[in-house]
Amino acid sequence: MSPQQNQPDLEPLPEIFYHACDPVFNGMPEIKRPFVYGDNIVATDRSIFVAANKNRYDVSGILDHTKNKKISGVGRVLQEIVSTECEKPYSPVEIPEDNIRFMEYKSRTNHRCPECEGSGKVETHTKYSTYKNTCLRCEGTGIGLRIEHVNEAVCIDGLRLNPCYIYLINKADKYHIKEKLQLFFRMSDIRGMICGYRF
């Protein structure tokens, strides 16, 4: 007997939550899928962050990481998103077809793992000895995964942003650009933030 079942009012989780998470980053398995954090349903790949009140959506089967200390930074980001006022009306940005090969832009290329520099092992020094351990970041493969750097950028008020993120939020209602680093947005009941390119 589960009172959650067959509740007619719960909507399926919007697609943006699945596009915004990071399905391949082994360093933080919590963000491979959307997750519950407090009253929010959240998804992030560390460059885009989307959140909405979980009560509106069918979140059955979605993990609750509210008490997971490893991702305690999520609370801080959520707080920043909630407290940042978005007053500027958002106008959809025209994005060339070539720039919205979304998963391609989010796809990873293989690089040497920055933690072990590709050796798959890290050294641990104690007072008495040096140990070699399997690198946790790459799980011993020596391969570091990262988002392919894209040359294309969408420029909004001087902030350069990955076009696939803008594609995801192109129906936003309002936005705010903070310190030329981040774009905050409101899109219906979804709130979020996108980090711009720094260079």
Q: Exposure string (b/e) for 106-121, b if CB count within 10 Å is 16 or more?
A: beeeeeebebbeeebe
Establish if 27 lies at the interface with Zn ion (CB under 5 A): no
Residue selected from 137, 160, 174, 176 as contacting Zn ion according to rule CB under 5 A: 137
Among 48, 86, 135, 187, binds Zn ion (CB under 5 A): 135
Among 48, 116, 187, 190, binds Zn ion (CB under 5 A): 116
Q: Between 48 and 113, name the residue whose CB sits nearer to Zn ion.
A: 113
CA–CA separation, 132 vs 139, rounded Å?
A: 13
77 binds Zn ion (CB under 5 A): no
For Zn ion, the closer of residues 20 and 116 by Cβ is: 116
Structure-token pair, residue 70: 């490893």
Phi, psi of 98, deg, nearest 5: -65, -25
Q: Is 138 in the site for Zn ion (CB under 5 A)?
A: yes
- β-strand 48-53 against 108-112: which pairing, if any? unpaired
Q: Which helix (H) or strand (E) is 75 found in, with range?
A: helix 73-83
Report the nearest approach of Zn ion to the CB of residue 113 (Å): 3
Total binding residues toward Zn ion, as defined by CB under 5 A: 6
Unique residue bearing structure tokens 């409101």: 186
Residue of 113, 161, 168, 187 interacting with Zn ion (CB under 5 A):
113
- In the complex, the residues that contact Zn ion under the rule CB under 5 A are 113, 115-116, 135, 137-138
